[in-house]
Amino acid sequence: KNEVEQSPQNLTAQEGEFITINCSYSVGISALHWLQQHPGGGIVSLFMLSSGKKKHGRLIATINIQEKHSSLHITASHPRDSAVYICAVKGRSQGNLIFGKGTKLSVKP
Amino acid sequence: SQTIHQWPATLVQPVGSPLSLECTVEGTSNPNLYWYRQAAGRGLQLLFYSVGIGQISSEVPQNLSASRPQDRQFILSSKKLLLSDSGFYLCAWSLVSGGYTFGSGTRLTVV
């Protein structure tokens, strides 16, 4: 079993829909990251969370430390949101990140 | 500002040929540096990390190696590429605050 599990693996949505991507992890962490990977491969860091909730534009990320679960929400989705969204955690005793396999999001106009 | 440069962006190499991917960072000193690989259909996997010049830790046994000849330079190498080395290679560095900055990646195809 992977230490970081994401669901769904693939997601297709219509423009304007509210989107949720989930991430569960099995290790103790110091921080959780949500990343966005575009078709060319480059990765952009969206959020780093250790508790609670963060919002940036139409993106919202939440984390529940007790349940070892995080969600990434996209409100009013747009075709330009189409990308792979990756959840990654930093363990308490590690410097590197442990990555989920990613969720491929496709938003149709 | 803090930036990271990684090149080349794409690379097609024959089996048995050598490999050298380079990553440099700007705007910081003594960063923790990482090489990750993403094989088709899989998540990013840590290959090497470095906490200082000449200090390399390997996570996955393979025919790849890494070097850090300067504080802000991290190089991934192979003497002889295998087909299984194909994938997306990503350099990253981490901040004391816990944030990460990622390079733009190199898509390697071994033919």
Can you tell me the mean pLDDT for B87-91?
93
B38-63 residues labelled b (16+ CB within 10 A) or e (exposed): beeeebbebbbbbeeeeebeeeeeee
Residue A10 has pLDDT above 80, yes or no: yes
Give, for B17, the enclosing helix (H) or strand (E). none
- Provide the sign of the torsion angle of the four alpha carbons B37, B43, B44, B46, taken in this order: negative
Give, for B80, the enclosing helix (H) or strand (E). none
Which tokens in the block code for residue B76?
A: 């991934």
Beta strand B106-110 pairing with B10-13: parallel
Show residues of chain A in contact with B43, CB under 8 Å: 2, 4, 86, 99-102
Can you tell me the mean pLDDT for A80-101?
89
**Using CB atoms, which residue from A41, A86, A90 is nearest to B98?**
A90
Residue A17 has pLDDT above 70, yes or no: yes
Closest CA to A30 of A5, A65, A72: A65
How many whole angstroms separate alpha carbon B37 and alpha carbon B6?
14
Q: What's the pLDDT band for A1 if we cut at 50, 70, 90?
A: low
Beta strand B10-13 pairing with A103-108: unpaired
In the block, which residue shows the tokens 């930036």?
A: B3
Work out the minimum CA distance from A44 to partner chain B, whole angstroms. 7
